[in-house]
Structure 1
Amino acid sequence: MPVLHRRLLLGASAAALLVAIAPAGAEPAKGEPIYLGVSGPLTGPNAQYGAQWKMGFDLALDEINGGGGIKGRPLAYQFEDSQSDPRQSVAVAQKFVADPKIVAELGDFSSPASMAASPIYQKAKLVQFGFTNSHPDFTKGGDYMWSNSVSQADEQPLSAAYAVKRLGLKRIAVLHLNTDWGRTSKDIFVKAAKDMGAEIVATEGYLADEKDFRSTLVRVRDAKPDGLMLISYYSDGALIARQAKQAGLTLPIVAASSVYSPKFIELGGDAVEGIYTASRYFPGDSRPLVKEFVAKFKAKYGKEPDAFNAYAYDTMILMAAVMRESGTDRKSIHDGLAKVKDVPSVIFGKTTFDTKTRRVDGAMNVELVVKDGTFQLNEAHAAVR
């Protein structure tokens, strides 16, 4: 069966399952809230991601609590600003594990920030649900680390296939965030691209707060690549694209899915036109569950949701399903994540965990390109596992 056809069937069945999660006509939730702790950026260079999370969380809570909550009790969250800084995420973790009302934790945004705090959550037996943590080692921190983010071990080979097999790039320069996440992602991409027959002519790491890439781009230009790979977030990726254009580098650019946000286009302007990326989520997807999510998000916020909104929404729906089925104490949530099956998901169609990796199976790769100031399906696009 074609992949996109399977996606339609998954979407239809997931939409039917949604009735069981938020039954029509249920009384709105009342009483003492059940609290999830959220560790993430509300200030600092990654603050926009925290704002995007809150929109996804709040849309999901409208549905969850409007449909009766968790056995009549409302679900809520306590958001602590970590700036996605590992030092601050550790302090947030200490606060959450000491607070008995926090039954599970969501976040942090970056894998390094989450992984710095993982030993605290593991020791206290409080689930750390890193829903944007794609570092392959995140869930190896212990059996209380779970994620519905696709591991870079799976994503970067898909990025390499997009660059080498779909776009025909043979000499690639890689620019990457010089963090554990960025270096690990770069290593996986480089190996995969080489295995596919490409030559990596340059690799350049940069700091998250770096603003001037001119000398880096000169070195990249001198290596004579036929394409660039950006392992970046949307803010730094947009800045690199702008400066590459100013430097006269007009090569094809492929970027990791972490740039996929309207903010990338807003910050990059004309410089990001023609940049290729991929995503686990695309608002133009024809699955009923995606169409319903996009319509509700637009009605509430007046704009189209991006992948970070979708991951936050999915995560809150998932946690509600786990607590309804297994209970609301810390151990029940941990045990319930291993048992839950086929929870409706905007990203995955249905969510079921591989209990060995504590990650979700079945992610899709939707190939995109920036065209006319928007993300669009790449011409003759193919979604691949």
Structure 2
Amino acid sequence: MTNFSRRTVLAMTGAALATPSLLRAQSGGTVKIGAMLPLSGPASIEGHQVLKGVEFAIKQANAAGGVFGKPVELAIEDDEANSTRGVTAVRKLIESENVPFIVGTYPTAVVVAANKVSKEYGVPMLSGGSTGAAGTEANTPGDPWFFRCWPDSNGQGHDTAMAIVNTFGAKKVAIIHDSSNYGTTLAAQVTRIVSDAGGEIVSNDSFNVGEADFSTMLTRIRTLKPDAVYIGGWAGDGATIVRQAAGVGLRTQFVGSGSMVSDDFIKLAGPASEGFAVATLYEPSTPNEKGKAFGEAFEAEYGHSAGTLNALGYDSTSIGIEALRRAGESDGRKVQEVLNNGMADFPIAMGPAGTTADYNEIGSVDFKNFIAVIKDGKRTLSGA
């Protein structure tokens, strides 16, 4: 059992945890919420960044008085990016911790498996980073139990593909993607839209998650002289591809999927990340006032800028806590009813100015992705 596989975290500031008066308040009861994320395994880079946003949302909620006059407590499970483990994690959170909602998870395949269980129990899930369209497409229209407060992979693929053609002017595009649902879906979307816009797909290669050597593939792609290379998959694999591309002399515009939007990707890819472009839902330079306020508070708390993955966890958790307040009691079915019918007035940090948790009939929020380019080791919004 990993260090993260079965732990309950009381998400309050260190000073608050040391305060006897608050400890006495906790002994009178807390309001517990759940989260399941990949804290080990192939998506652990993303999972830990999302978790930091979850924890920050809870810190802010507790600083504002908690829920029902009680501090919010986080029960968290490590799903290891594994569907079987995810189903077990959901059952534990619901049966043992009695949580009214769950923030989770990142891999779409785990979402689909886990949400079947959470729906049976009457406990809604709010995405812990999952972008795959399959998560919300599995919902019954008008009665969703999985909620994602940002566009799905189809939207991400569309906006990324349009940037490849229009922003970067690419005519010849190479596609590299992992064999997961996430990578395959995005690659298909980018392929279709680039082709429809008059671009040429000069190659389309898939790989298994965690592969170590891409040099042969990248050397072959170099001979095709693409104007851009699109990478769909996890951040760790994307960083390896970008580093090895520099090693074989493949120099072109690299564009990646949203999982590669973290500072960890920049650290892993090193200098080879310069010029890399990625679809993003949030950056500190956002024109969204809610997002700016979040970014300033996050940096004051942690000493570094917030990224999209932090914002994913923050928004989903903030929405869940607000829905819990509006429901008036810790009841999953009532929380789902609020999420389904009453959150369009709640502003979120991600997206353009004025974006709210206005879920559509299958539990997704639609808005246009930003495109960011890495310059001097930092993501900068394209055109900013």
Q: Which TM-score tier does this pair reach, normalised by the shorter chain? A: 0.7 to 0.9
The 2-side partners of 1:219 and 1:115 are apart by 36
Deviates more, 1:339-348 or 1:260-269: 339-348
| Per-residue deviation, 1:100 | 5.9
The 1-side partners of 2:118 and 2:59 are apart by 28
Contact 2:177/2:233 (8 A) holds in 1:
yes
The 2-side partners of 1:130 and 1:57 are apart by 11
The 1-side partners of 2:348 and 2:251 are apart by 38
Q: Match of 2:349, as an amino acid?
A: V
Runs of 4+ in 1 over 6 A off after TM superposition: none
Partner residue, 1:340: 343
| Per-residue deviation, 1:122 | 2.2
Q: Match of 2:338, as an amino acid?
A: G
Partner residue, 1:79: 76
The 2-side partners of 1:100 and 1:131 are apart by 18
Normalised to the residue count of structure 2, the TM-score between the two structures is 0.87
The 2-side partners of 1:257 and 1:54 are apart by 17
Partner residue, 1:360: 365
Contact 2:177/2:184 (8 A) holds in 1:
yes
Partner residue, 2:15: none
The 2-side partners of 1:41 and 1:302 are apart by 24
Normalised to the residue count of structure 1, the TM-score between the two structures is 0.86
The 2-side partners of 1:261 and 1:61 are apart by 21
SS in structure 2 opposite 1:278? strand
Partner residue, 1:141: 138
Contact 2:75/2:93 (8 A) holds in 1:
no
Contact 1:342/1:350 (8 A) holds in 2:
no
User: Unpaired runs of 5+ in structure 2?
Assistant: 1-20
Contact 1:131/1:149 (8 A) holds in 2:
no
User: Unpaired runs of 5+ in structure 1?
Assistant: 1-26
Partner residue, 1:18: none
SS in structure 1 opposite 2:203? strand
Partner residue, 1:221: 222
- CA, structure 1 residues 287+354, in 2 after alignment: closer, same or farther (shift >3 Å)? closer
| Per-residue deviation, 1:283 | 0.8
**Residues 1:51 and 2:36 are matched in the alignment:** no
Q: Match of 1:284, as an amino acid?
A: S
| Per-residue deviation, 1:286 | 4.5
Partner residue, 1:189: 190
SS in structure 1 opposite 2:344? coil
Partner residue, 2:12: none
Partner residue, 2:151: 150
Matches within 5 A, 1:58-207: 58-99=55-96, 101-142=98-139, 143-207=144-208
Q: Match of 1:329, as an amino acid?
A: D
Aligned residues: 353
Contact 1:131/1:148 (8 A) holds in 2:
no
Contact 1:157/1:193 (8 A) holds in 2:
no
Q: Match of 1:359, as an amino acid?
A: S
